[in-house]
Amino acid sequence: MADTRNPVKVVCIEDEPEMIELIKLILRRRNFELIGAVGGREGLSTVRTVKPDLVLLDLMMPDMDGWEVYQQMKADEDLNDIPVIVVTAKAQSIDKVLGLHIAKVDDYVTKPFGPQELLASVKKVLNIEI
C-alpha cells in the first residue's frame, strides 16, 4: 500500500502528451507525483528506473503497445507487483481488452474519462483515501 504522506509516484505511459498533461492536472491536486512517458519503450524504461506505486497504461501506441509493456512488466521480478490501470479508448479491439482481462490488470478506465472516474480507479487499486 502506498504511503499517503509522501507523494504517490505514478508513471503514465501514453503516446499523446496532451493526455499525460490532463492526467497530471487531475492527480497533482491530490498529492500524486506523475511521471509521463511518451510511448511504450520510454514507458517501460521509466518504470524500470522510477519503480512507481502505480502505472497508467495506454494500449494503442505505435512503438510498443501497452499489451507488450504489460507482459514485460509482469515477466520482470522487480516490476511484476506494480499495479496497472489500463487507460483505453472505447474503440479498443475486443481481443486486447479480453486478453488484458484474462491477464488480470488491476483496473480499466475508458477514454474519454472524467477526473472522478480516474481518481476512483486509483483509490480502488491503491486502497488509499484521496
**Structural domain includes residue 109:** yes
Domain ranges, residue 54 = 8-120
pLDDT above 70 as % of the chain? 87
Distance CA 10, CA 34 (A): 5
Closest CA to 84 of 48, 50, 41, 122: 122
Distance CA 17, CA 53 (A): 21
Q: What is the mean pLDDT of the chain?
A: 89
User: Using CA of residue 90, residue 55, residue 104, residue 120, what is the dihedral sign?
Assistant: negative
**Structural domain includes residue 130:** no
pLDDT tens digits along 37-58: 999 999 999 999 999 999 999 9
Q: How many structural domains is the chain composed of? A: 1
Q: Which three cell numbers stand for residue 72?
A: 514485460
- Report the CATH number that the domain containing residue 73 is assigned in CATH: 3.40.50.2300
pLDDT of residue 78: 96
